Amino acid sequence: MPELAEVEYFRRQWDAGLSRRVLRVHVNQSARVFRGESALAMQHGLSGCKLLGSRTHGKNLLFRFSGGFWLSGHLGMSGELRLGGPNHEPTKHDHLVLYQKSGSLVFHDPRMFGRLRLHQGKAAPDWWLALPPEILSPAFNLEFVRCQLLRRAKSPLKPVLLDQAAFPGIGNWMADEVLWQERLHPTTLAGSLARKGAASLHRRVQKISARALEIIGTSWDDPPASWLFLHRWKAGGSCPRCRGQLSRDEIGGRTTCWCAKCQRR
């Protein structure tokens, strides 16, 4: 499910617990989302702590608690952050539940490709601080993008857009959306873009990210029908620009949707 805008939407769900103390914690100890972690340490660590703040970085989430605790999360393919009542009965896929006086914060993930980690320290974990520039930050400038395109010059654009070290937060639908709006075929080699092409791609990535955050990140609304988004899922969909039949195939290991007429190499 989640790409940067969906992740932001889920982050906001837990805002209900801000400035509130965690009274007790439920963990689904054997759940894969705790791989490499001690679920019990998380349970004990977060008990009694107050949720002080949260943020996202691409598809990553970070929640700051009192006592120097930081809970980081990734939603994988099917993760969700939900709210429950103060006596929420955990279901099979509710792997972490933080109970507060007025309600509970639930991490729910059927497929368990998601992940939860706990860090204790004065600052956020090192791996978080080492993440690449966020798409809507000043550091994500044209030079950065050109450098990424150059580094993977012989790769098709599709997998390059999916590279979280280059375009953090871009996932399968956003990558297809960027390529479609730019009229670039997904197999176009990253190194084949001239400076102007790279500049246009850079602006497009930022624009789609910003718009998706407004639309999906706040209320989970659908992007406009003029985008590829609503048409790309069903086989047999048609291009909202030229009405042509949309193509689907696996590119860079992921199902990719494009318009053979509009998108040229």
3-state secondary structure of 112: coil
Q: Which residues within the stretch 191-230 sit at the binding site for DNA (CB under 7 A)?
A: none
Binding mask 108-147 for DNA (x = CB under 7 A): --xxxx----------------------------------
Q: Of 74, 88, 95, 108, which lies in the binding site for DNA, with binding defined by CB under 7 A?
A: 74
Candidates 13-21, 137-145, 151-159, 201-209: pick the segment binding DNA (CB under 7 A): 151-159
- DSSP track, 161-180: HT-TTTSTT--HHHHHHHHH
Identity of the residue, 78 or 100, whose beta carbon is nearer to DNA in the bound complex: 78
Residue 2 annotated to the active site: yes
12 catalytic residue (yes or no):
no
CA–chain centroid gap for 8, Å, is 8
Q: Of these residues, 146, 211, 254, 261, which one is catalytic?
A: 254
- Give the integer Cα–Cα distance in Å for 113 and 74: 8
For 240, the 3-state DSSP assignment is coil
Number of residues binding to DNA, judged by CB under 7 A = 34
Residue closer to DNA (CB basis): 51 or 228 = 228
Task: Single out the residue of 50, 55, 204, 254 in contact with DNA (rule: CB under 7 A).
Answer: 254
| Degrees to nearest 5, angle at CA 11 with 36 and 168 | 70
Strand partners, 258: 247
Taking CB under 7 A as the criterion, the residue among 19, 138, 196, 253 binding DNA is: 253
Q: Is there a contact between 58 and 169 (Cβ–Cβ < 8 Å)?
A: yes
Which residue from 38, 102, 120, 255 is in contact with DNA, where contact means CB under 7 A? 255
**172 lines the binding site for DNA (CB under 7 A):** yes
Given the DSSP bridges, would you call strands 104-108 and 94-99 parallel, antiparallel or unpaired? Answer: antiparallel
Both tokens of residue 133?
């520039």
Under the criterion CB under 7 A, does residue 243 sit at the interface with DNA?
no
Q: How far is the CB of 172 from DNA (least distance, A)?
A: 3
- Cβ neighbour number for residue 210 with a 10 Å cutoff: 14
Considering only residues 32-61, where is the footprint of DNA by CB under 7 A?
32, 58-59
* CA 45 – CA 43 distance, rounded (Å): 6
Smallest gap from residue 258 Cβ to DNA (A): 13
Cα torsion 3, 83, 64, 32 to 10°: value is -60
**Where on the chain is the footprint of DNA (CB under 7 A)?**
1-3, 6, 32, 58-59, 74, 76-78, 92-93, 110-113, 151-156, 159, 162, 164, 171-173, 233, 252-255
